[in-house]
Amino acid sequence: MKRIVKKRDDLRRRQLRARQKVAGTAARPRLSVFRSLRNISVQFIDDEAGETLAAASTLCADFPKDQSGGNVKGAEALGKLAAEKAKAVGIEEVVFDRGGRKYHGRVKALADAARKGGLKF
């Protein structure tokens, strides 16, 4: 049990450390990634106003039902969907917040797909 609590605390510490350096504005919102074992969520956040401008998730209705959020292919599909939603709201440039996770695997696949979708990091 101690190991689980320590992992959770370490993740929270990494998230807070990143938030000190990364902040989103209306012109360049923060692309925040949340990754669980089965799903991934993405939000475009304006930290100055404290509001979410757009969001996408593997649980939303727009996400293809034949994809899973727990693998790299699902993360790529979500990256494309997130880029489309951002373009619809008028977002072109973002600041990437990996949520305290390593830039590897699903997080990297999502970021690469969002870049291919037209977002500038």
Structure tokens at 6: 């320590």
E strands in 15-91: 30-35, 40-46, 51-57
Question: What is the enclosing helix (H) or strand (E) of 26?
Answer: none
Number of domains in the chain: 1
Which range marks the domain in which residue 110 is found? 2-116
Average pLDDT over the chain reads 93
pLDDT of residue 1: 84
Judge whether 14 lies within some domain. yes
CA-based torsion, 48, 50, 54, 58: positive or negative: positive
CATH of the domain at 28: 3.30.420.100
Full-prediction pTM beyond 0.85? yes
Judge whether 100 lies within some domain. yes
Residues 45-71: tens digit of each pLDDT: 998 999 999 999 999 999 998 889 899
The answer to whether 110 and 83 are in contact (CB under 8 A) is: no
Judge whether 12 lies within some domain. yes
78 pLDDT exceeds 90?
yes
Question: What is the enclosing helix (H) or strand (E) of 97?
Answer: strand 95-97
Judge whether 121 lies within some domain. no
Judge whether 34 lies within some domain. yes
